[in-house]
Amino acid sequence: MDFPFDLNALFPERVSVLDSNLTAGRKAPGRPDPQIQIATVIDELGKASAKAQQLPAPITSAAKLQANRHHLYLLKDGEQNGGSAVVVGFLKVGCKKLFLLDQQGAHVETEPLCVLDFYIKETLQRHGYGLELFNFMLKHKQVEPGQMAYDRPSAKFLSFLDKHYDLKNSVPQVNNFVVFSGFFKSRSAAQ
Ligand code: ACO
For ligand 1, say whether the CB of 118 is within 6 Å of any of its atoms: yes
104 φ, ψ to 5°?
A: -90, 0
Q: Mark the ranges of the chain whose per-residue pLDDT is less than 50.
A: none
Q: Which CATH class is domain 7-190?
A: alpha beta
Q: Which atom of ligand 1 is nearest to the CA of 157?
A: 35
- Tell me if 76 sits within 8 A of 66, measured CB to CB: no
| Measured distance CA(4)–CA(118) in Å, rounded | 24
Q: Taking phi first (over 0 means left), then psi (-120 to 50 degrees means alpha), and beta for anything else, what does residue 82 get?
A: left
- Report CA-CA distances (Å) from 175 to 4, 136, 158: 41, 28, 17
Residue 136 is predicted with a pLDDT of 98
- Tell me if 122 sits within 8 A of 106, measured CB to CB: no
Condensed to tens digits (0 to 9), the pLDDT of residues 20-40 reads 999 887 666 666 679 999 999
For ligand 1, say whether the CB of 126 is within 6 Å of any of its atoms: yes
* C-alpha 125 to ligand 1 mean position (Å): 6
Q: Where are the domains of the chain?
A: 7-190
For ligand 1, say whether the CB of 127 is within 6 Å of any of its atoms: yes
ipTM over 0.90: yes
Residue 78 is predicted with a pLDDT of 84
Average per-residue pLDDT in the chain? 93
Q: Which atom of ligand 1 is nearest to the CA of 118?
A: 50
| Measured distance CA(133)–CA(57) in Å, rounded | 24
